């Protein structure tokens, strides 16, 4: 379905980003993986994806908190493959603490990685997309781009910012054959979620099992985590010709959470 297209998926050595990269590659899209450091795992993933799907796959190292790294990443992929057709801004981090105890440095880091990186990467890919009159920008926000939860001030602020930025991107690019959308996952079982459970347990004074049932999945009427495959399937659809008129949206994949 996506043969001849090229994609960058940021933060794609694990979790949702890796799920999206695999789903795009399964549709014959060439995929650039990204994280802040190349390692044995990223080398193995590049080889595995290229061999399994018969696509080109490369690793583009860049720290999403550093604008110069982001611009260099886009330039590197454009140099290697001539273009970037699909940009998936997925890299993100979390920190859980009450506002009055929230570390200033963590706030700045979350805003940089979860929100500002979307601006820098979009700015870098747009000239090429506009010139070719085709592009897909998919920003991975969160249900927390649509509603708030306590103790996640920086994350919720950044994700709401991503939803707003995506709307502006869609409006500025609509006449160039480019779409920009936000996917807003509810809880998906990934390392990011697993890592926050001990902190949540401490903050809520609960066992880790209770945090999963009574805090995380309490919000999702399905009572289930969403899967990385489900998010990947939506990214593929938004990238396809069938997604050409879907732009400026924020699409929840949250088991009904934001229907409340």
Task: Specify whether 155 is catalytic.
Answer: yes
Question: Among 30, 63, 85, 230, which residue interacts with ligand NAD (rule: CB under 6 A)?
Answer: 63
Using the contact rule CB under 6 A, the part of the chain among 40-48, 62-70, 166-174, 233-241 near ligand NAD is: 62-70
Long-range contacts of 210-214 (CB under 8 A, 24+ apart): none
Contact 169, 137 (CB under 8 A): yes
- The position carrying tokens 């990685």 is 113
Residues forming beta bridges with residue 250, ordered by sequence position: 182
Strands 30-35 and 6-9 turn out to be parallel
Does 105 bind ligand NAD (CB under 6 A)? Our answer is: no
3-state secondary structure of 62: coil
Question: Among 6, 13, 179, 200, which residue interacts with ligand NAD (rule: CB under 6 A)?
Answer: 13
Ramachandran quadrant class, 223 (left: phi over 0; alpha: psi -120 to 50; beta: rest): left
Does 116 bind ligand NAD (CB under 6 A)? Our answer is: no
Binding to ligand NAD in span 197-256, by CB under 6 A: none
Binding to ligand NAD in span 77-96, by CB under 6 A: 90-93
Question: Among 67, 161, 185, 255, which residue interacts with ligand NAD (rule: CB under 6 A)?
Answer: 185
Contact 137, 125 (CB under 8 A): yes
Using the contact rule CB under 6 A, the part of the chain among 122-130, 173-181, 188-196, 202-210 near ligand NAD is: 188-196
Contact 66, 12 (CB under 8 A): no
Q: What residues contact 102, with CB distance under 8 A and at least 6 apart?
A: 95, 153, 154
Pick the catalytic residue: 107, 151, 155, 225? 155
CB of 139 to ligand NAD, least distance (A): 9
Our CB check for ligand NAD shows the closer of 65 and 239 to be: 65
Would you tell me which residues interact with ligand NAD (CB under 6 A)?
11-17, 34-36, 63-65, 90-93, 113-114, 140, 142, 185, 187-188, 190-193
- Just list the catalytic residues: 155
């Amino acid at each position: 379905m996506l043969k001849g297209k090229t994609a960058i998926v940021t933060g794609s050595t694990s979790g949702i980003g890796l799920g999206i990269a695999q789903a795009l590659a399964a549709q014959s899209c060439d995929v650039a993986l990204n994280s802040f450091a190349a390692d044995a795992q990223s080398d193995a993933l590049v080889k595995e994806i290229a061999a399994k799907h018969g696509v080109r796959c490369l690793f583009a190292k860049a720290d999403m908190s550093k604008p110069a790294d982001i611009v260099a990443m886009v330039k590197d992929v454009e140099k290697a493959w001539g273009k970037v057709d699909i940009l998936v801004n997925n890299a993100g981090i979390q920190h859980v603490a009450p506002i009055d105890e929230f570390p200033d440095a963590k706030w700045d880091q979350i805003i940089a990685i979860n929100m500002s990186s979307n601006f820098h990467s979009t700015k870098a890919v747009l000239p090429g997309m506009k010139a070719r009159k085709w592009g897909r920008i998919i920003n991975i926000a969160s249900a927390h781009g649509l509603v708030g939860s306590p103790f996640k001030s920086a994350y919720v602020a950044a994700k709401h910012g991503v939803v707003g930025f995506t709307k502006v991107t869609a409006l500025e690019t609509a006449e160039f054959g480019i779409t920009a959308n936000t996917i807003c996952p509810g809880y998906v079982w990934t390392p990011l979620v697993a890592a926050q459970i001990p902190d949540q347990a401490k903050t809520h004074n609960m066992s880790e099992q209770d945090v999963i049932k009574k805090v995380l999945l309490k919000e999702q009427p399905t009572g289930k985590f969403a899967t990385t495959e489900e998010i990947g399937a939506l990214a593929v659809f938004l990238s396809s010709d069938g997604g050409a008129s879907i732009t400026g949206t924020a699409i929840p994949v949250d088991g009904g959470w934001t229907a409340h």
